[in-house]
Amino acid sequence: MNILITTIFDYPHEGGLSTHVATLKNGLEARGHKVDVLSFTQLNPLLRKAYAQAPGFIASKFKPGSGQLMNDENRMTLIRKQLERLKNEYDVINSQDVYATLAAESTGLPVVETVHGYYSYEAISRGAIKEGSKEDQVIREREKKAYTLASRVVTVDQRIKDYVYKMAGVNATAIRNFIDVEDFNPLKLDLSGIRKEFGIPEDKKMLFVPRRMTEKNGVIYPTLALRKVLDKHPDTILVYAGTGEQMSAIKEKVAAHGLGDNVMLLGTVAHEKMKYLYGVADVVLVPSIHSYGVEEATSISALEAMGSSSPVIAGAVGGLKEIIADHEDGILVQERDTDALSNAIIEVLDSPELGDQLARKARRKIEREYSHLFAAEKYEQIYHEAINDERVRVE
């Protein structure tokens, strides 16, 4: 098959959607398919700025939220025009967001939409729109229409599947997120120089937070938990890899609690480098929380850490509860509970044997259940179903 993966967002970019696309593409290509990606990044840079970035930025100055809606609509228009030019080259489109699905409506091609989260709720959570606003209502209608238009809908966990059915009455297929299992195999990586490369002290225990700095990712809580950890394990450093609106809040807490020598903010790290940072971490933290109705799906960061044979401590929310068995292949803690997070970190640092046991079992689980080749086969079946449905409809 000739498959086109589409999104109105940038690709590649920092975050799980981009990682999902790259890994799915690799899996499908390994199964013999031709796969291309059409994203906002591939469009003409002058058009991107003049038509789909600057107007929304200006609009937001006058009415908060209007810019988000305007930018999404304009991105959709640009993607639609490009799809019109490309439609004869592909058998199926796999859209990765609501607006990419709507952009593909006029192509006549079967569209499979992958739903990674709650589109309107996530916009509210990151402060882009206000709950209950006109923009919120429009986006919800866009969501409903996209789910209805798609030939097939895939969600990355059961909760989002339930959400799609509740919103649009559409029965989706849940395919949990996945990773290239061998790419994150620490036995195949040379980890000897990675701490030096990033300036991470060799003599400190490393807590690693591989997260975009958004509210739902709970990134502030490792900083709040660190002082108690340092009282027991002063040779500990907390390392963040990611950027986002919570960066300033973390910096404020670091300064307020005198943690400057024990917190490192690496900013954006190339995905290719992340597997090395997982490999040298003593503990990986995925402290997700509920935020305006949004909760973590099947976290790719958690899967990557588990595949890297690193002990994972995660918030007991959403898809994290589906992939981690508490104190068997990771540790789950109550969301926003700083003491519980501190205690879990101390528990693992106190007992390297426990950390090793969690890490070994986590790696085995990832090998069995979260391979990108297995996921690619499932997507392949859904593409075939969508193509066959379209043929029947046309005939």
Q: What is the pLDDT confidence band of residue 47, given thresholds at 50, 70 and 90?
A: confident
Task: Encode pLDDT of 163-177 as tens digits.
Answer: 999 999 999 999 999
Q: What is the pLDDT confidence band of residue 15, given thresholds at 50, 70 and 90?
A: confident
Whether the predicted pLDDT of 392 surpasses 70: no
Q: What is the mean pLDDT of the chain?
A: 91
Q: What is the pLDDT confidence band of residue 62, given thresholds at 50, 70 and 90?
A: low
Residue 91 tokens read as: 């058998």
What's the rounded mean pLDDT across residues 353-359? Answer: 96
Whether the predicted pLDDT of 147 surpasses 80: yes
CA dist 368 and 176 (Å) reads 13
Compare 24 and 298 and report the one with higher pLDDT.
Answer: 24
Label each residue of 133-179 as H, E or C. Answer: CHHHHHHHHHHHHHHHHCCEEEECCHHHHHHHHHHHCCCCEECCCCE
pTM of the predicted structure, to 2 decimals: 0.79
Please work out, in degrees rounded to the nearest 5, the angle formed at the alpha carbon of residue 309 by the alpha carbons of 305 and 313: 50
Task: Encode pLDDT of 98-140 as tens digits.
Answer: 999 999 999 999 999 999 988 877 777 777 678 888 888 988 9
Q: How far is the CA of 298 from the CAs of 123, 137, 171, 176, 366, in angstroms?
A: 19, 27, 19, 6, 12
Task: Encode pLDDT of 183-222 as tens digits.
Answer: 998 888 899 999 999 999 999 999 999 988 988 899 999 9
Amino acid at 107: T
Whether the predicted pLDDT of 52 surpasses 70: no
Q: How far is the CA of 381 from the CAs of 31, 154, 337, 384, in angstroms?
A: 12, 12, 42, 5
Measured from the Cβ of residue 348, the count of other Cβ atoms closer than 10 Å reads 21
Whether the predicted pLDDT of 48 surpasses 90: no
Phi, psi of 295 (to 5 degrees): -140, 160
What's the residue count for the chain? 395
CA dist 168 and 98 (Å) reads 13
Q: How far is the CA of 117 from the CAs of 143, 148, 299, in angstroms?
A: 11, 16, 11
Task: Report all structural domains of the chain as residue ranges with CATH numbers, in order of start.
Answer: 2-178+371-394 (3.40.50.2000), 182-369 (3.40.50.2000)
| Long-range CB contacts for residues 267-274, cutoff 8 Å, separation at least 24 | 267/241, 267/242, 267/243, 268/14, 268/241, 268/242, 268/243, 269/241, 269/242, 271/12, 271/18, 271/19, 271/22, 273/194, 274/210, 274/241, 274/304
What's the rounded mean pLDDT across residues 36-61? Answer: 75
Q: What pLDDT does 60 receive?
A: 58
